[in-house]
Amino acid sequence: MTYQKKKKLTNLLIVCLLFIGIVYAILTANLQINGTAKIGGNTWDIHFNNIQINENSVALSTGDSAATIDPENNCKVDFEVTLSLPGDFYEFTVDVVNSGTIDGMVQTYTIPNVPDYLDYTITYADGMSLAQNQLLSAGATETYKVRLEFKNDLEELPDAETLSTSFEVTYVQADSSAIPVRVPEADFATDSWDAIIAAYNAGKKTNLQAAMEAGTTREVNLDLDNDGTYETTAHLRIANLSTPAECSTTGFSQSACGFVIEFADVITTHRMNPSYNNGNIGTGNVGGWPASEMRTYVNSDICNALPSDLKSVIINTTVVSGHGATSGETNFTSTDKLYLLSRREVWNYTGSYDTAQGQTRQLDYYANLGVTESNYSVAIKKDLSGTATIWWLRSAGSSDPAIFFSVSTGGGWNITTANNTIGVSPAFRIAL
């Protein structure tokens, strides 16, 4: 083969490789084309269509222009309007159509140059707010509603002026951050974990809140002996749905923040630590929850006993725990998939025997039912045979290096030496 033929073949290969690389990048990276494009067998075509002006909108003045789709950007609506008096408004709807084969999502949306005396809203036709990353699936059509209104609460009226502006949305190829526009309420007892989490993240919490307040449970099958057979049936319930401002405080435990699930029953028994106390880390309550045998047990054996669909949605939780009777220590912080509850999280305990009580909060489930250290029957849990039993908390008692707190068969607080084998009933989070 001659040098010239080799050179031509090499250049052809380079061009082919570049073309393959470009196509791959377009299909896997964010695609930003407000128009139509064809990539291999796929098409990108998101455009506005069908503008409708609200018939009650203010009449256009001489020189104003009704809302029209920009001829150079088919995801942009241009308009000119004069709003002169409080309550005057201009409103229109426009359809956005994904005629392509590639899912898109909202990257940005804007109405520039709006003066201070005007308010504006951008929603879907049903009133749901437009937001970044909202999904527009291939083949789907949505309707946006845009409204500008002269404010009613101004102390003095400004001079009316013509507003020349536009409504524009930029779309990119959808990725894992895309958010479905309409997420239905979820049934905690029967829906998939993904559907439950999607509803929670979309703010659709009415059904979930009702389920928590009613103590609704859902069955979960466990493989407690790790033999591959999920032969043990236990029950889960929602323990928390809120994330108040205190959850953002530096050093605050996240164990009662966000979407917390707890076992409604005692699923097994285990000791907290292997010995009563000999002053070594990991005996008695020396080293607290992070150094305990129990923490290893629930984050390995019990976590591995969960079905895969549940285990895959459990998130890491920053857990703050008391240091017990060990002098000169600070409270301990660990990162866990599963964890035990604390004295504060059950009874809203605010005393001094749990040194970490100020770094967490009472779980919503117990707070809603008014659980306190004098009203505690709600905290009773039964084992899988239906018998009320004692269950461990992660709170190390500060008065004795040998003890952790536990919940008695009557639902009140108890103290138990670390080497006792009593009930285990963990909690975990599935969303922030």
Per residue in 91-143, pLDDT (tens digit) is 999 999 999 999 999 999 999 999 989 999 999 998 888 989 999 999 999 99
Sign of CA dihedral 179, 183, 189, 192: negative
- Considering only 24-38, 54-68, 77-91, 140-154, which range has the smallest mean pLDDT? 24-38
Cα–Cα distance, 163 to 216 (Å, whole number): 54
Confidence of residue 388 (pLDDT cuts 50, 70, 90): very high
Length of the chain: 432
Classify 230 as helix, strand or coil.
coil
- Considering only 143-147, 203-207, 290-294, 311-315, which range has the smallest mean pLDDT? 203-207
pTM, rounded to two decimals:
0.69
Instruction: Please tell me the predicted confidence (pLDDT) of residue 157.
Output: 82
- Average pLDDT of the segment spanning 320-332: 89
Cα–Cα distance, 316 to 431 (Å, whole number): 9
Given a cut of 80, whether residue 380 has pLDDT beyond it is yes
Confidence of residue 36 (pLDDT cuts 50, 70, 90): low
* Average model confidence (pLDDT) across the chain: 90
Radius of gyration of the chain (CA): 30
Beta strands across the sheet bearing 65-69: 65-69, 76-82, 162-173, 104-110, 135-136
Using alpha carbons, select from 180, 101, 98 the residue that is nearest to residue 135. Answer: 180
Given a cut of 80, whether residue 327 has pLDDT beyond it is no
Confidence of residue 26 (pLDDT cuts 50, 70, 90): very low
Cα–Cα distance, 418 to 420 (Å, whole number): 6
Percent helix, percent strand, percent coil in the chain, to nearest 5: 20, 35, 45
In sequence order, the 6+-apart residues with CB closer than 8 A to the CB of 188 are: 196, 207, 208, 211, 212, 216, 218, 238
Q: Which residue has the higher pLDDT, 293 or 275?
A: 293
Q: Which residues pair with 321 in a beta bridge?
A: 332
Q: Two tokens at 85?
A: 């008096």
Among 193-202, 327-336, 384-393, top mean pLDDT goes to 384-393
Given a cut of 90, whether residue 23 has pLDDT beyond it is no
Cα–Cα distance, 378 to 215 (Å, whole number): 10
Q: What is the dihedral of CA 221, 225, 229, 234, to 10 degrees?
A: -10
Where are the alpha helices (H) located in 205-342, listed in sequence order? 206-214, 293-297, 303-305, 308-311
Confidence of residue 22 (pLDDT cuts 50, 70, 90): very low
Per residue in 141-199, pLDDT (tens digit) is 999 999 999 998 887 788 878 999 999 999 999 998 898 888 889 999 999 999 999 88
Confidence of residue 24 (pLDDT cuts 50, 70, 90): very low
- Parse the chain into domains and list their residue ranges: 31-173, 193-431
- Average pLDDT of the segment spanning 240-258: 97
